[in-house]
């Protein structure tokens, strides 16, 4: 069992700073944004304070990461099973899925339900898309953006088709499949159809 006074390091791999409210500090604590690629910002939090934060989405999605030497034990002691979560991904897991997609990458993206989780994917996507040395699959990009649109519309169970792509190893292989798998032209068009149409309501006038 972890000592309640044990100081555990928490990491932020994303560019934006994050704020968490600790029991021992009514003003909360700020975790700065990452200093650079693979150079996260971090703070130490006493375990007794961390326990009260573990069920918040910043931890259950991996937006803030617990030091690897403590992570499994921390979650286990607090009965949080991240192995079954469709929303928990570390920064490096997301990076690997975007830059080196595997057979099940798209299906994992479609299964995401958390707004914070899909935003993490979008942040990593944009970060590497803006760096010209990376060749990112257009299909991976399309699924991330479209799944984010769905979640923003409150669609928790995705309407996107689940597809199986057999044994591709490179981005070129993934993009080549685009002509072979029918995806309702463009997934975004399907989401737009689900968007409620705006209606104009005229204000009633009253006579004096």
The model's pLDDT over 142-174, given as tens digits with 9 standing for 90+, comes to 999 999 999 999 998 898 876 654 444 444 444
DSSP character string of 4-23? TT-EEEEEE-SSS-EEEEET
Amino acid 28: pLDDT: 61
Per-position b or e across 42-61, b if 16+ CB within 10 A of its CB:
bbebbbebbbebbeeebbbb
Rounded Cα–Cα distance for residues 116 and 128 (Å): 19
**Among 177, 157, 156, 154, which residue's Cα sits nearest to residue 166?**
177
DSSP character string of 81-113? -GGG-SS---HHHHHHHHHS--TTHHHHHHH--
Rounded Cα–Cα distance for residues 96 and 93 (Å): 5
Contacts of 36 (CB under 8 A, 6+ apart): none
Specify which residues 8 forms β-bridges with: 45
Q: Is the pLDDT of residue 186 over 60?
A: no
The model's pLDDT over 52-90, given as tens digits with 9 standing for 90+, comes to 899 899 999 999 999 999 999 999 999 999 998 999 999
């Amino acid at each position: 069992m972890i000592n309640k006074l044990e100081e555990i390091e928490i990491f932020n791999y994303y560019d934006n700073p994050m704020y968490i409210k600790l029991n021992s500090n009514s003003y909360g604590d700020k975790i700065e944004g990452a200093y650079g690629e693979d150079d996260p910002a971090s703070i130490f939090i006493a375990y007794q304070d961390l326990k009260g934060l573990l069920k918040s989405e910043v931890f259950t999605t991996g937006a803030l990461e617990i030091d690897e030497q403590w992570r499994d034990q921390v979650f286990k002691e607090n009965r949080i099973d991240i192995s079954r979560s469709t929303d928990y991904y570390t920064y490096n897991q997301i990076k690997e899925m975007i830059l080196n997609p595997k057979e099940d990458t798209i299906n994992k993206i479609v299964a995401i339900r958390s707004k914070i989780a899909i935003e993490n994917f979008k942040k990593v996507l944009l970060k590497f898309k803006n760096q010209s040395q990376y060749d990112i699959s257009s299909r991976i990009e399309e699924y991330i953006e479209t799944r984010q649109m769905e979640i923003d519309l409150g669609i928790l169970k995705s309407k996107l088709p689940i597809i199986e792509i057999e044994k591709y190893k490179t981005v070129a292989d993934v993009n080549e499949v685009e002509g072979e798998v029918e995806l309702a032209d463009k997934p975004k068009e399907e989401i737009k159809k689900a968007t409620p149409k705006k209606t104009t309501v005229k204000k009633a006038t009253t006579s004096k």
